Structure formats: structure tokens, C-alpha cells
């Protein structure tokens, strides 16, 4: 038993890294799709395609649904609404309105938010060094977002701040809350059922959001720009939903099951590395020297947040 378990645990972190890296590729498809669809419509189609992928997983576990408690349902609704639907909309809007590389780096502040939320919701103890490293991460995030840090008293536009940065921070807030809610979901149901139901909740939320926005009709769901380039639209949506959506979700959580949380935190940074390689390398969304330094400081500070919190739990 011991000998057979060791190899499984040894590749667990690499599954986390692979899943995170595949998640990081979503900018490659989401950025071109922003030229064809409204952000909310992109997320709507994404949920439909991922649900089609997960449908077999959901069908074979329908008998488990009556066993789900009210508290778990509450966490699931929060996770689907905040993370799967609203957070992803703001991420798509951030890529459309800001520097994609800056957006993907700023999102690394998410663990600070999720750690704070876990303290409020689950009573987790904040480590002694949390506030120090969280503060460093926030300051570094500001410097990553600012194009011209020397302009004291300058306007937001002069400093290089834009809607993209604001949307990225809102996305980090929703995704941070979703991470904590996901922790509550995992204690009440199996991984595959949780992943499938989260997509279902997200799709219901997206349908209601589009209905309220008045975009739940053919002209909005498949606009003229998509009709002019149907191959690009369909191909990018499929790649977004598979390579960057459903597949990494299953790989990541399987790796997380075999990996200590403290270790997984470091391997999750492959998501940022993959995203930056794509946005900077293929979309030429470069960072200035001070932004590169601030990005490295931000990632190091977030890694320390995860490390001190892990020590506090142990």
C-alpha cells in the first residue's frame, strides 16, 4: 500500500502545474473572442460547451444530489455565481479593456483575498506574517498596474491606470470568494459532482444575466462579427472550453487531491507563467522594467502568504 501510494503523490504537484498552465492559456482564445462577442456572451457559450463535456460525469452521479445538505448548496451557489459566472465576466472584460499581461499578473492577489475570506467564513487563523506579506503584495500590485510610477498627483489616465485594472481587481475579489466557497462545497460532495454542478449553476446565472441585459436573443448570441468569421468563433470557443476550461479543471483537482495545499500553491503559479508567455509573446502586451520587478515581488509575496498560512495551520 505504501509503495503504490508514493508514486501517485509524487506526480500530484505536476498535475496541479499542468492544470494551472492550461488555465493560463485561456487568454489566447478569450482575447480574439472579445472582437466577436460581448464578454458575457463569451462566458455563456463557454458554460454551455463545458457542461456538454461534463454531462456524463453529472448523469452517473445524479443519485448523490439528494444527499447534499443546505449548507453545501449555499456554498455551491456562491461558487457558481461568483467564480464561474460573474468573476469570469470581469476577467473577460479586463482582457478587453486593459493590458492582458498586467491583468494576469494582478490576479495573483487572489490568494490574499481568499485567505482573508476563509478567516471570516471558516474562522481560519491568520498567520503572524500575513499582513506584512499581504501588504507587500498589494503595493506590488499597484506598481504593476501603474505604467508611469513617477507621476505623483497624476490622473488615472496619465498614470496608465484603466478599466482593465479595475475589472481585474473585481475579478480577483469574486474568484477569491469562489475559492473559499469551493472549499465548503468539497466537504459535502465528490469532486466530479461538484465540478459539474458548479458549471450548471454558472450557466443558470449566465442565462439570467443575459436575460436582464436583454442579450438572450440570436442577434446578440451570434452577432454579425461572429457570422463573418464562423470558423474563428467556433474554433476559439471550443478551445477555450476544452483546453482552457473543462480539461484543466479535472487535471488540477486530481492533482490537488494528491498534493499538500502548501505545495500546490507554488505549482499554481504556472498559470501566471503560461498566461504571461501568451499575452507578452503572442499579443505583444509588454511590461515596463518597473512592472516586471513589481510582478516578481507580487508573486513572491503571495507565495510567502501561502507559506506562512500553511505553517499556521500545521
- Averaged pLDDT, groups of 10, the chain, 314 residues long: 46 88 95 97 97 94 93 94 96 95 93 87 84 94 79 54 88 91 84 91 97 96 96 97 92 78 75 94 92 94 89 73
> Could you read off the pLDDT of 19-32 as tens digits, one per residue?
999 999 999 999 99
Give me the pLDDT at residue 134, please. Answer: 94
Domain boundaries in the chain? 13-313
Output the CA–CA distances (angstroms, integers) from residue 132 to 58, 194, 204, 279, in the order listed. 43, 35, 40, 30
Provide the whole-model pTM. Answer: 0.90
Query: What is the DSSP annotation of 236-286?
Result: HHHHHHIIIIIHHHHHHHHHHHTS-HHHHHHHTTHHHHHHHHHHHHTT---
Give me the pLDDT at residue 202, please. Answer: 96
Determine how many CB atoms are found less than 10 A away from the CB of residue 232. Answer: 16
Give me the pLDDT at residue 9, please. Answer: 59
- Alpha helix (H) residue ranges in the chain: 2-23, 26-33, 39-59, 70-78, 88-97, 100-106, 110-122, 130-145, 156-159, 163-186, 191-213, 218-221, 224-228, 230-241, 247-257, 261-267, 270-281, 289-313
User: Is residue 14 within 8 Å of residue 256, measured between CB atoms?
Assistant: no
> Could you read off the pLDDT of 120-176 as tens digits, one per residue?
877 878 888 999 999 999 999 988 988 766 555 555 555 556 889 899 999 999 998
Angle of the 39-59 helix axis to the 88-97 helix axis, nearest 10: 150
Amino acid at each position: 500500500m505504501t509503495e503504490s501510494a508514493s508514486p501517485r503523490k509524487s506526480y500530484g504537484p505536476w498535475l496541479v502545474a499542468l492544470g494551472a498552465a492550461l488555465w493560463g492559456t485561456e487568454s489566447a482564445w478569450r482575447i480574439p473572442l472579445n472582437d466577436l462577442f460581448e464578454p458575457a456572451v463569451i462566458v455563456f457559450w463557454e458554460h454551455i460547451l463545458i457542461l456538454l463535456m461534463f454531462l456524463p460525469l453529472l448523469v452517473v452521479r445524479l443519485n448523490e444530489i439528494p444527499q447534499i445538505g443546505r449548507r453545501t448548496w449555499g456554498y455551491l451557489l456562491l461558487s457558481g455565481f461568483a467564480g464561474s459566472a460573474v468573476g469570469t465576466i470581469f476577467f473577460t472584460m479586463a482582457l478587453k479593456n486593459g493590458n492582458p499581461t498586467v491583468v494576469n499578473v494582478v490576479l495573483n492577489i487572489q490568494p490574499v483575498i481568499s485567505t482573508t475570506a476563509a478567516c471570516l467564513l471558516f474562522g481560519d487563523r491568520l498567520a503572524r506574517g500575513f499582513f506584512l506579506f499581504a501588504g507587500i503584495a498589494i503595493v506590488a500590485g499597484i506598481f504593476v498596474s501603474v505604467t508611469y510610477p513617477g507621476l505623483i498627483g497624476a490622473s488615472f489616465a496619465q498614470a496608465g491606470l484603466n478599466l482593465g485594472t479595475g475589472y481585474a481587481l473585481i475579478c480577483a475579489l469574486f474568484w477569491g470568494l469562489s475559492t473559499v466557497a469551493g472549499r465548503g462545497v468539497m466537504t459535502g460532495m465528490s469532486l466530479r459532482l461538484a465540478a459539474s454542478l458548479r458549471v450548471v449553476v454558472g450557466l443558470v446565472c449566465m442565462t439570467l444575466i443575459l436575460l436582464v441585459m436583454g442579450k438572450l436573443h440570436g442577434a446578440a448570441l451570434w452577432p454579425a462579427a461572429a457570422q463573418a468569421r464562423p470558423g474563428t468563433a467556433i474554433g476559439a470557443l471550443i478551445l477555450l472550453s476544452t483546453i482552457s476550461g473543462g480539461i484543466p479543471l479535472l487535471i488540477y483537482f486530481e492533482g490537488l487531491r494528491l498534493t499538500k495545499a502548501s505545495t500546490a500553491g507554488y505549482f499554481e503559479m504556472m498559470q501566471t507563467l503560461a498566461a504571461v508567455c501568451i499575452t507578452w509573446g503572442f499579443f505583444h502586451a509588454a511590461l515596463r522594467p518597473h512592472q516586471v520587478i513589481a510582478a516578481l515581488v507580487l508573486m513572491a509575496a503571495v507565495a510567502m502568504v501561502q507559506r506562512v498560512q500553511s505553517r499556521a495551520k500545521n
